[in-house]
Structure 1
Amino acid sequence: MASGPWTTRRAELRRAAAAGLLALAAPALFAQDCGKPVYLTFDTGHMGVAPLVADVLKRENIRVTFFAAQEKTKEGDGSLGQHWAPWWKARAAEGHEFASHTYDHVYWRADLPDGRFRVRPSSGPQEGRDQVWTAAQYCEEIQRAATRLREVTGREPLPLFRAPGGKTSPKFLAATRACGWQHVGWAPAGFLGDELPSEKVSNDQLLARALRDIRPGDILLAHLGIWSRQDPWAPAVLEPLVKGLKERGFCFRTLREHPQYAGWIAQKEERRK
């Protein structure tokens, strides 16, 4: 990434300090020490690899951002259920960040002429059934996951969300932003491929592609377990990927420190006081 955005960010930090907001800006200030940041994010899944992911993150001493929904899991009562609550609490104690992935993993499907949206949950009581929602209903769904994250982590989630599948429209993004949520996607090279079938793309291929293509500033996407992948991506790819990127001079930051989102987060948190 060119130095321009980071120069701009330093100016923003000076202004924040003058306004008495240095505490909010401190994580971003730390990010200035790194010329090649990447932003690793995890969406929830069946959680089967969640303990292994946590082990790698702790061993490598990196912080990530988790986007959480209440999805079906291999054990327990869902990814945000009571079974996994201690796991989330432990990640909060390690300094990771959290954001909503909608509670019932609700996909945007289409904009409708009357201003509403066609959506489809992939979890919960309406799983697999198309629904017609207003923007307010979708925003409430984002908030449901954020509220549950606050309960299980003891920390306020970031005012960010990721739509399931990354599926959005300009109208949908404007509506969710208007009610206080900024959407986070991922970089093309940041799609780490753990959703792809093992028989078509091996872990070795995914690792080689990521190490070749990832660039400074990229947001990276993986999951805490994908049902359809028989050869789990984590930790087989995760640990060598983290080590390999570090060897290439990259460092890992959370979305709180991302220049596109840091100002939005600081503004929302200041208003919450």
Structure 2
Amino acid sequence: MIGGFIMKKIMIILCFLLFINPIYLYADDSTDTLKETDETKKIDTENNEENDNNKAPEKTNAKDNTLKENNENETEKDIKKDPNKITEDKDELKENESKENEKTKEELLKEKKEHFKKEYEKIKPKSYINPDTIYLTFDDGPSWITEKILDILKKENIKATFFVCGNNTKYGKKILKRMIKEGHKIGNHTYSHDYNKIYKDVGSFFKDLYKNEKNIYEITGIKPKIVRLPGGSNNSSPHKGKDLITKINKKLLQRGYTYIDWNATAADSSPTSPIKEQIIFNVLKWSTKYNNSIVLMHDSAGKKNSLKALPTIIKKLKSFGYSFDVLSEDSFKVTFNTVKLDKKITSYKSNNLLKKQISNLLN
């Protein structure tokens, strides 16, 4: 009985031991598992933090990109709302550039005026020059400029020579009559002044010349015998060259005309006229080189600067001791078949030399 009791006790202890051991094992496993879980959570937390840190810039960049896109969209919306915005900006830029260019042009023009004024103020006849006579001549009129020139000449009490072209208008006739009435001289500059027409051949030149002579005669009662060829008596423009011009010159002398060129010029024949100060400089520079000068100027409708320059030219030449007169068949002459503007002139044809020249041409 006692043995059975002991055996029973042993069995109970064994059973207890068998029961309690899995609990400890489980407890250990649980502890390890908990530890592993905590460590895993810690690692996961660290990884999450790292991921969050890595993702933060992406969020920022995304935000910046969104703002940029919004700004671009707003700009596009503005342009769509006002499609002329870009054009207006471009126009404003062009306008500003134009103003700058205009300012530059004004400054350059001012400098140019000051330069030529300074230069012409220095001009005086050379010591070996004995100022004698200036023959002012005006080509290509009559026009409204001619009338203003006549006013200036009247005020200064001087006479000039006008080589006129055809103008059959009432106004043109009035100007021609005034020229004669106030003591000026009229010369023939052909009716049309059309190079293609008058320099086609000798016959075409004289046909045009006679037409102008007839027009002048019907208005004034005078047939001019002094002639100025468009382009001068040695021009080669633009057809048969100097051979044609020489034939015309010969025929003019044969028919009792005198052709006259110039030895001083305003250089104002081009459509774009020089500024007033440059015209003054040109005339004074050339005319003061000689005792006697035939000055070429133009009085067609566009020659405003020539008109503006004239009072100063007259005043300066008077101050140098020059007097003024009109050209005639017997007056001082310059002809380009012996004299060129780009060379210094030392002597001119006398009337006897001119007669010899005529004789040579006629032979």
1:211 lines up with 2:284 in the alignment: yes
Distance 1:85 1:35 in 2: 35
> How many angstroms apart in 1 are the aligned matches of 2:275 and 2:131?
31
1 or 2, which has the higher helix percentage?
2
Residues 196 and 137 (structure 1), Cα distance of their counterparts in 2 relative to 1, 3 Å cut? closer
- 1:120-158 Cα deviation digits (max 9, x unpaired): 35xxxxxxxxx743x34422321221221122223332x
> Contact 1:89–1:153 (CA<8 Å) still a contact in 2?
yes
2:175 corresponds to which of 87, 91, 115: 87
TM-score, normalised relative to structure 2: 0.48
Query: What amino acid sits opposite 1:152 in the alignment?
Result: I
Query: For residue 140 of structure 1, what is the amino acid of its counterpart?
Result: K
Shift of 1:198: 5.3
| 2:161 paired with 1:161 | no
1:96 counterpart = 2:184: yes
CA distance in 2, matches of 1:65, 1:211: 18
Residue 40 in structure 1 maps to residue 110 in structure 2 = no
Counterpart of 1:87 in 2: which secondary structure?
A: helix
- What is the number of residues matched between the two proteins? 196
- Give the residue type in structure 1 aligned to 2:216: L
C-alpha contact 1:160 1:184 (8 A) present in aligned 2:
yes
Paired residue for 1:223? 298
- Residue pair 2:135, 2:295 contacting (<8 A) in 1 also: yes
- Where 2:134 maps in the other structure, the secondary structure is strand
Q: CA RMSD in A?
A: 2.8
Residues 254, 101 of structure 1: alpha-carbon distance in 2 compared, 3 angstrom cutoff: same
Q: How does 1:58-77 map to 2 (within 5 A)?
A: 58-70=154-166
Q: Name the structure 1 match of 2:323.
A: 251
What does 1:26-37 correspond to in 2, within 5 Å?
36-37=132-133
Q: 1:185 to 1:255 in 2, by over 3 A?
A: same
Residue identity over aligned pairs, in percent, reads: 25
Label 1:132 to 1:208 Cα distance change in 2 as closer, same or farther (>3 A): closer
Look up the match of 1:28. none
Deviation at 1:238, TM superposition (A): 0.7
Q: Kindly provide the CA deviation profile for residues 253-272 of structure 1, in whole angstroms up to 9, marking residues without a partner as x.
A: 111262349969xx9xxxxx
Match of 2:306 in 1: 234
Bigger relative CO (Cα 8 Å, ≥ 6 apart): 1
Consecutive unaligned residues in structure 2, runs of 5 or more: 1-129, 237-241, 335-349, 356-363
Out of 183, 197, 206, which is 1:139 matched to? 206
| 1:194–1:226 CA contact under 8 A, matched in 2 | no
* 1:210 counterpart letter in structure 2: V
SS of residue matched to 1:62: coil
Deviation at 1:68, TM superposition (A): 1.1
Q: Secondary structure at the match of 1:40?
A: strand
Q: 1:182 aligns with which of 243, 258, 267?
A: 258
Gaps of 5+ in 1: 1-33, 71-78, 108-118, 122-130, 268-273
Q: Secondary structure at the match of 1:259?
A: coil
In 2, the alpha carbon distance for the partners of 1:211 and 1:259 equals: 19
Give, in angstroms, the shift of residue 162 of structure 1: 1.1
> Partners in 2 of 1:252 and 1:221 — Cα distance?
14
**How far does residue 46 in structure 1 lie from its aligned partner after superposition?**
7.0
Moved more, 249-258 or 164-173: 164-173
SS in structure 1 of the partner of residue 305 of structure 2: coil
Find the residue that maps to 1:49 and give its secondary structure: helix
Judging by fraction of residues, say which structure has more strand.
Answer: 1
- Partner-residue secondary structure (3-state), 1:164: coil
